[in-house]
Amino acid sequence: MPALELFELGGRGGRRYSLFSWRARLALAHKGLAFESRPVKITDKAAIAFSGQKRVPILRRGETVVSDSWRIAEFLEQAYPDRPTLFAGPGGQALARFVNHWTDRVLVPAVGPNVAAAIPGCVEPDDAAHIRAGFEKGFGRTLEEMWAGRGAGLERLNATLEPLRSLVRERPFLGGEAPLYADYIVASPFQWARIVCAEPVLEPDDPVAAWFERVLDLHGGFARAEPARAGAA
């Protein structure tokens, strides 16, 4: 079997900060699969031209190339059926897609403005300019305005978390007693926030924070091994 390679955004000092990358990383860890990380810059499209498209993460195994975090999870489930399941059945796979849409359309936009100003300091200058332009176009505000509005931004995030909070008050993981890929989808913006921004987005007594700590502990502390951003944002 050829080695697994994960092409993913790389920042300064080897940081792996992409939230979509963390979905793939945690899916790989869940399956107990070793992989080689291939960091690429956002602005280096030549490095991923082999994939026939322009976005990371991309998983490569010999001749097989899979891009998009969701399709990587589906590929891993189908290619490694004897490893721990990411979906726990077809219903779990179908509804994880709802969790994916909720995360991308509701949760990520609620986390983003609270950490965006901290991202340029984590990446090389050309990627920093690209990220600034992307956020400022997407949210219609400068990064500095987002940071200044962080109080309201955290309140909005707090309200957004209500359905997740209700769930993790009842049980340890979205998957129930044990995690599923849905947990990694939802954890990904919090891991992104943890890596890029020294100022937390969750109150320590929030049940969502306790759930996220449980995710950080999984697979031998796989996600915790990526250091949190230190110092002031």
Binding site for a copy of itself (CB under 8 A): 85, 87-99, 101-102, 104-106, 162-164, 166-167, 170-171, 173-176, 180, 182
Shortest Å distance, C-beta 186 to a copy of itself: 9
- Residue 177 near residue 208 (C-beta atoms within 8 A): no
CB of 144 to a copy of itself, least distance (A): 26
**Nearer to a copy of itself (CB atom), residue 49 or residue 106:** 106
Counting DSSP H helices and E strands in the chain, the numbers are: 10, 4
Q: Residue 104: CA atoms inside 13 Å, Cβ hemisphere, count?
A: 11
Taking the least distance from each CB to a copy of itself, the nearer of 18 and 100 is 100
Residue 187 CB, shortest distance to a copy of itself, in Å, is 14
Contact 25, 222 (CB under 8 A): yes
Contact assessment for residue 206 and residue 165, using Cβ atoms and an 8 Å cutoff: yes
H/E stretch holding 72 reads helix 69-79
Residue 146 CA, chain-centre distance (Å), reads 21
Q: Which is nearer to a copy of itself, 99 or 131 (CB)?
A: 99
Residue whose CB is less far from a copy of itself, 56 or 180: 180
| Minimum distance from residue 111 beta carbon to a copy of itself (Å) | 15
